[in-house]
Structure 1
């Protein structure tokens, strides 16, 4: 907890003193020094600073003085509000001095933790709408933010490969990941102006963009996936009668040969000779 308090602006000594007083209310400076493992002269200086900041109070006028810590909710709540106010003010000031961008670009993320952090931040920052296409496993870490967005009245559209439940969201269910061709992909679009596209197979990589053409493309893919899920749920038997199990005959016309072979391994004997024909064509071209 010392390190976590330090992240919020406490020095190491201040964090130790605050924790000591939370655990031992009305302690003297001498007692705090013993509990916190600090020199007494340093503790009195720290207590003075914390008192000035409204983190602790002196509760006796006599000698020795006794101190109590303010409740964590009050201390950290004040820090949270002040940090948010400073961040909002700085965002506005920086936006005012920033040169206008001629065209929005994109930037890359190259590890899973960065992808998770950025995706979660985009969901949390959404003003009106979040649209996502993801495996059910990835919705486990996105779910808290998606639920919060839905509960606050923002539109949440989810295409999920597998099973999930997000109250208040429009959920479109696709096949399980084990029957998915193309790897573990994540697509996210926020407020029609920002998009993230990630491959979560190793090596992990992602692109985040505000380019209108790219954002529009991601939005279209997510919508098309939702249309397909809804249509397949209603007319699945007719579609498979026409195009084969898992829409095999239709999909293999457009898949690259290695993906077609992957689809064949999933569908198995429900497919026909289409994969063999495609692979034979590839060998002839090679």
Structure 2
């Protein structure tokens, strides 16, 4: 088990690094006193007790009253589900209480990093109302397969432009030359994201909802599809 990755994941659920280390130790070894936690983790006793107190407040640990006060972990799945439910409730509250002066103005936005680009594409797919065109290497299609299948099942238009076998059925597929690390998506003729995307590479994409940029990219995809169709007809 990759302990470092496990700790990083716990931090995403609202724990500090020290709390995540202590919770991980509880999950691994079971009920323990603050002294035992401090000894096992190398954290000072005062910090260990502070972390344990925080874990009980955040719903990640329970106190077990025995001869000495001990702490037991809340089951990982239960803790995660409680955290997700709380965040969903807080999200709903924030959306309802968003300042009325907020204006959504989108220009030309640079998105960097594999995870940030991936998250943006997932969100664009989840927000698609009518149609989506996705252009990328077949190597990355499986990453977005769930959302694409859902759109197809909902009767929305899904067009894939790729360079290999497409794992999706009942969608419109055009297969052409290698895409390499180039990726592009256009949804509802309103939003475009295009650039470089790939494992372990320097990932940078441009995102915009500007009409002129959307039309430019839309025409580029239409021309690419036309060339693929003509090439196939000649063959």
TM-score using structure 1 length: 0.63
Distance 1:120 1:8, change over 3 A: same
Report the counterpart of residue 134 of structure 1 in structure 2. Answer: 136
Query: Within 2, Cα distance between the matches of 1:106 and 1:87?
Result: 26
Tell me by how many angstroms 1:67 deviates: 2.2
Report the counterpart of residue 166 of structure 2 in structure 1. Answer: 165
Q: Give the number of aligned pairs.
A: 225
Deviates more, 1:89-98 or 1:26-35: 89-98
Query: Within 2, Cα distance between the matches of 1:113 and 1:54?
Result: 28
Query: Within 1, Cα distance between the matches of 2:79 and 2:116?
Result: 30
Query: Within 2, Cα distance between the matches of 1:148 and 1:173?
Result: 19
CA contact (8 A) 1:26 1:67 kept: yes
CA contact (8 A) 2:7 2:20 kept: yes
Report the counterpart of residue 66 of structure 2 in structure 1. Answer: 62
In proportion to residue count, which structure has more helix?
1
Tell me by how many angstroms 1:114 deviates: 5.7
Structural RMSD (CA)? 3.5
Report the counterpart of residue 18 of structure 1 in structure 2. Answer: 23
Of the candidates 45, 52, 76, which is equivalent to residue 47 of structure 1? 52
Q: Is there any run of 5+ residues in structure 1 with no aligned partner, and where?
A: 241-286
2:62 is paired with a residue whose SS is strand
Tell me by how many angstroms 1:120 deviates: 4.6
Tell me by how many angstroms 1:157 deviates: 1.4
Query: Within 1, Cα distance between the matches of 2:168 and 2:130?
Result: 17
CA contact (8 A) 1:157 1:169 kept: no
Tell me by how many angstroms 1:188 deviates: 0.9
CA contact (8 A) 1:123 1:146 kept: no
- 1:33 to 2:38 alignment: yes
TM-score using structure 2 length: 0.74
Matches within 5 A, 1:75-224: 75-91=79-95, 93-94=97-98, 96-99=100-103, 101=105, 104-109=106-111, 115=117, 118-136=120-138, 140-151=139-150, 153=153, 155=156, 156-160=158-162, 162-168=163-169, 170-177=171-178, 185-198=182-195, 206-224=205-223
CA contact (8 A) 1:187 1:222 kept: no
Query: Within 2, Cα distance between the matches of 1:147 and 1:65?
Result: 47
Query: Within 2, Cα distance between the matches of 1:89 and 1:110?
Result: 29
For the pair shown, the structure with the greater C-alpha radius of gyration is: 1
CA contact (8 A) 1:22 1:69 kept: yes
- 1:4 to 2:1 alignment: no
Report the counterpart of residue 3 of structure 2 in structure 1. Answer: none
Higher relative contact order (CA 8 A, sep 6+): 2
